[in-house]
Amino acid sequence: MSQPVQGKTAIVTGAGSGINLAFATKLLSKGCNVVFADLSLRPEAKAVVAAYSQPAEGQGRAVFQETDVRDWLQLERMFVTAEREFKSVEIVCPGAGVYEPKFSSFWYPPGSPESHDATNGGRYALLDINLIHPIRTTQLAISRFLNAKSTSPRSIVIISSTSAQDTSISTPLYDASKHAISGFVRALKDIESAGIRITAVAPGIIKTPLYTENPEKMAMVDSLKDVWVEPEEVAEVMVALIERDTMSSTIGEYSEDKQDISISGGTIIEVTKARARPVTAYNDPGPSGPGALASNIAASETATKNMLKGGWGVYE
């Protein structure tokens, strides 16, 4: 049920930076139109949108739609924008995510000076962004796909993480969100019978602002031991999940005799340095290899454990 991305239209949330920007750029270069749905665009994303703002032979066109993915009305609006600009939508990536930031973290609960979550708000921003937004976006996408005039294949690519298999006391909300995402993707595997393929990538340590502009998260990375996975490597796999029924465990290898991974609905692909690996629901060996996990996570966990004392969670 693979489909070429050329001539199609994609919505990518969180396209203002990181993996999603790399994915959106890859799609544009292959002739796919892209709606960049994000709160704002970083300078590098602005440059991409500007470069692809006009129709040109062999490439797609980019449109920016300001979007707070926590707001369901704004999620609907990005579909309306895509349909107004490009008539249809065939590819959706609800990729926006956060990595246990202080403003919405289990260890900085609502009411703490660091948290932006309202004490009696009934929700965590992290879960709204990482979990609820992909679920609601998927619902909206499926509705539009099933009611479209065209019966061509459609794809939804979601971003999980190696943290969907591993856990850390330092990032419990993030880990819970990614475990849930992987379960969600697997639960919808059989929707491929309706012409809709839902898959996910599970990246390791990715060189994006989620790490590089967050000192707490950078402290988890040992620069002498750990290897960064580049966003472009993840983007390469994401495109393969749409365009191919098989792929190589070596990222970027397209020789027919090297296609050792099958792709279908519910497939989750771990992405480490130059390597792709299918993640199975049962008896999976877990993340491994360069770029899979951060080496200094123990130091972060010790710092978290040191918070476990009287007074934690009590605020006037």
Tell me which fold the domain 9-305 belongs to. Rossmann fold (3.40.50)
User: Six-digit token pair at 256?
Assistant: 């027919």
User: Six-digit token pair at 78?
Assistant: 């990005």
**Side chain identity at residue 233, one-letter code:** E
**pLDDT at 209 > cutoff 90:** no
136-141 LR contacts (CB < 8 Å, sep 24+) = 136/72, 136/75, 137/11, 137/13, 137/69, 137/75, 137/92, 137/94, 138/92, 138/94, 138/184, 138/188, 138/198, 140/75, 140/76, 140/79, 141/11, 141/79, 141/89, 141/92
Mean pLDDT of 12-38: 97
Domain edges within the chain:
9-305
Distance CA 247, CA 262 (A): 7
Distance CA 279, CA 164 (A): 10
Between 298 and 201, whose confidence is greater? 201
Identify the three-state secondary structure at position 90: coil
Task: Kindly report the number of other CB atoms within 10 A of residue 182's CB atom.
Answer: 21
List pLDDT tens digits, range 127-167.
999 999 999 999 999 999 999 988 889 999 999 999 999 99
